[in-house]
Structure 1
Amino acid sequence: MFQCLNRSPSRFTLPDLTAVTEPVFKLRTNPRQEQAYRNIKQWFKDLRVYPEAKERKFLSHAFDLYAGLSFPDADVEHLETCIAFFLWAFSFDDLSDEGEFQSKPDRVQVGVDISMEVLNHPELPPPKFKYAAMLHDIWRRFRSTASPGACNRFKKAVESWMKSQVEQAANRSWNTVPSVDEFIILRRRTIGGEIVEAMVEYSLDIKIPEHVWDHPVLVGLSRAAIDIMTWPNDLCSFNKEQADGDLQNLVFCVMLEQNVDLQSAVDIVTKMLATRVDDYVTLKAQMPSFGSEVDVELATYFKALEHYVQGTVVWYYESPRYFRGMDVT
């Protein structure tokens, strides 16, 4: 099954993925980034999620830059929550990706169950499980200003993301590589795409009627945007993940399904990304009107979502999480 992996070259060429997305997804930086990060950095340190050395390495991944690029118009209060969201999401994700829960779906499920109690019973004190304690505070911050619809979407999205962590841990434990189509659907959940969308709503207190989100064009735009922010992650994290023996990556799926070598798979995924950008443009041109007030809110939302997508792709190159010790030019 894994013969094509054995004949892969020791190196591959990764194109500038930011150039693929930049014509449609523009980049800006939030000038309040440093101010927001000071408070949240201390918040994270006080929780003592990691020992000091591991905490220092984790915080070196530039999550403050990520939030500054992804939420360029958020005020300080909302930006603090967005940074806290990144610290929580990436630390919890690392538990199953490379930490003590890796390939242990039963242990991931325990963490999921504790975390879901936080969402279902926010009036209770924060639990001792530190990752759920982070979520407890983020959920409090989110609910303080977000619309009921955004709160509902955030809660459902977190539950879906956490279930996907269990599924992915099971795939790792069984050494299972899904088909490309299956993986793309699962990957939209493991990247936390729907949580991101709720965070974009929250960041600017956007209020859009519930029925609007079910329109086929908006559903299509959502899926396209999530794919566009996700597939560059698989390309940029490939080297890190293959070093960890992690096959849950779109590049691996393409290699196995199409029986091609590494460079060919990288090129195929890059072309898939360019096609997905075109899909987004086509769908956006088909956006119907929902009335002047809703249209203004939607325009604000999609502009913010596009900033998030490009900020994410740029951050993949800027963060030592993926290219530590490398000169990325």
Structure 2
Amino acid sequence: MTSPARPVFDSETRITIPETALTLPALRHPDHAEIERANQHYIRTHLWNLYRSEEEAQNNLRDRHAQWACLANPNGHSERVRYHAYWVSAFFLIDDALSDPNWHGSSTHAADTIVSELVSVLEGDLTAPGSGGGPYKKVAAMVLEPILEGMGPGLRARFLADMRRYIHEYRAEVALRATGKVPDFDTYMAMHTASGCDAVTTLVEYGLQIDLTGAFRAHPALHELKRIVHDNFILVNDLFSFHREHSQGDYTNALSVLVLAEGMQLQDAIDKVCHLIRETETRFIKKSGEMLTSALGADPDIRAYVEEMAYAFSASSQWSYETPRYHNGERGVTRFPSGSATLTRDRITYASAK
């Protein structure tokens, strides 16, 4: 079921963010400063000309994409976490190009062009830098090639399948936005789980230099754990990115969906999303504890993965509340914010952020 898209609020609006009381600790990769410097060089060298303006390019340097990879994979091999960081920066750019209507207007033609370039890479056309192909094809080929070279056949096949789902679901979202509709909440969560979450958690395996392809076939608990982490990724991101996406006319966000398709008031939607965020942590702690104390925990690769997924889980909150991307170009807050805040068209201001 879909509902008409429209602004969720029109002017300055006071909201309250409930206390989430999340307990899983964050950990940053020991080489995070070096990885950040390398990633900033990567953005300047390979992505700069794809941004719409110098200001926009500078903003993406400021947003510190590399810290997402460093928080999500703190025990990963340094070179692999660096490639993960390049992937994050490239796909934030692609995410903006596909999800922000200001990039492609009301027509889906520009989005179709981007999608076709990405699909050609995922079908095996890893175009060498500087050779034929559109700009997004070149960026995708450059960022994916070293990652794919470092994966065994099983992990590589899963990662490529993850990326195909990511592109397919993003294209479906662009098409849905073109209709002026938003989906119901359950449909929205299923779409967003497919649009990137699987690829992120597969990169955790890549960073740890393990391949759990056989284990995923044999143990449903691994899929259950991933789904909990994916739910958290979506909900936390949507809480922090809501004002940014809303200002762009993008209503494929959990808060907008709950208001527009489920009939909630904005404050009730915020309360529900924060409740679900707390609930995902409770579910993760329970499921991971069961896995680590069962026979699965005796497998060193599974144990390493489950323990690293706890950091991937906390990375979602840590990066989202500290990055300038979601804080009006300013340094983010130092803890998960709670209490009163003010929403305007393009920013959120916390009354008591620390």
TM-score (norm 2): 0.83
Q: Deviations over 1:101-130 (max 9, x none)?
A: 355434323212212222322454345433
- Tell me, yes or no, if the aligned pair for 1:103 and 1:170 is still in contact at 8 Å: no
**Which stretch shifts more, 274-283 or 86-95?**
274-283
Task: Give the drift of 1:212.
Answer: 2.9
Which position in structure 2 is the counterpart of 1:188?
Answer: 193
CA separation in 2, counterparts of 1:193 and 1:6? 29
CA separation in 2, counterparts of 1:66 and 1:198? 15
The verdict on how the C-alpha distance between 1:3 and 1:81 changes in structure 2, with shifts beyond 3 A counting, is closer
- Tell me, yes or no, if the aligned pair for 1:104 and 1:170 is still in contact at 8 Å: no
Task: Give the drift of 1:271.
Answer: 1.1
Task: Give the drift of 1:39.
Answer: 2.7
Task: Give the drift of 1:210.
Answer: 2.3
The verdict on how the C-alpha distance between 1:92 and 1:159 changes in structure 2, with shifts beyond 3 A counting, is same
Task: Give the drift of 1:84.
Answer: 0.2
**Which stretch shifts more, 45-54 or 25-34?**
45-54
Q: Deviations over 1:8-27 (max 9, x none)?
A: 9712122455x33xx2x321
CA separation in 1, counterparts of 2:226 and 2:107? 31
- Tell me, yes or no, if the aligned pair for 1:229 and 1:310 is still in contact at 8 Å: no
Gap runs ≥5 in structure 2: 331-348
Letter in 1 for 2:61: L
Q: Classify the secondary structure of the residue corresponding to 2:84.
A: helix
Letter in 1 for 2:165: S
1:135-214, aligned counterparts within 5 Å?
Answer: 135-190=140-195, 192-213=196-217
The verdict on how the C-alpha distance between 1:4 and 1:298 changes in structure 2, with shifts beyond 3 A counting, is same
Task: Give the drift of 1:79.
Answer: 2.0
TM-score (norm 1): 0.88
Task: Give the drift of 1:309.
Answer: 1.8
Gap runs ≥5 in structure 1: none
The verdict on how the C-alpha distance between 1:135 and 1:124 changes in structure 2, with shifts beyond 3 A counting, is closer
Of 91, 94, 100, 2:93 maps to: 91
CA separation in 2, counterparts of 1:201 and 1:323? 30
Task: Give the drift of 1:3.
Answer: 8.8
The verdict on how the C-alpha distance between 1:312 and 1:185 changes in structure 2, with shifts beyond 3 A counting, is same
- Tell me, yes or no, if the aligned pair for 2:43 and 2:61 is still in contact at 8 Å: no
- Percent identity, aligned pairs only, is 22
CA separation in 1, counterparts of 2:5 and 2:122? 41
CA separation in 1, counterparts of 2:54 and 2:249? 26
1:1-329, aligned counterparts within 5 Å?
Answer: 5=8, 10-15=13-18, 17=20, 19-20=21-22, 23=23, 25-47=24-46, 48-50=49-51, 51-98=53-100, 99-101=102-104, 103-122=106-125, 124-126=127-129, 127-190=132-195, 192-213=196-217, 215-287=219-291, 289=295, 292=298, 295-324=299-328, 325=330, 326=349, 328-329=353-354
Q: Classify the secondary structure of the residue corresponding to 1:11.
A: strand
Q: Greater helix share, 1 or 2?
A: 1
The verdict on how the C-alpha distance between 1:69 and 1:52 changes in structure 2, with shifts beyond 3 A counting, is same
The verdict on how the C-alpha distance between 1:8 and 1:281 changes in structure 2, with shifts beyond 3 A counting, is farther
Q: CA RMSD in A?
A: 2.5
**Which stretch shifts more, 3-12 or 280-289?**
3-12
- Tell me, yes or no, if the aligned pair for 2:296 and 2:302 is still in contact at 8 Å: no
Letter in 2 for 1:117: S
Letter in 1 for 2:97: L
The verdict on how the C-alpha distance between 1:239 and 1:214 changes in structure 2, with shifts beyond 3 A counting, is farther
Detail structure 1 runs of 4+ shifted over 4 Å in the superposition. 1-4, 6-9
Q: Classify the secondary structure of the residue corresponding to 1:100.
A: helix
- Tell me, yes or no, if the aligned pair for 1:122 and 1:140 is still in contact at 8 Å: no
Letter in 2 for 1:118: V
How many residues get paired?
Answer: 322
Letter in 2 for 1:109: D
Task: Give the drift of 1:89.
Answer: 0.9
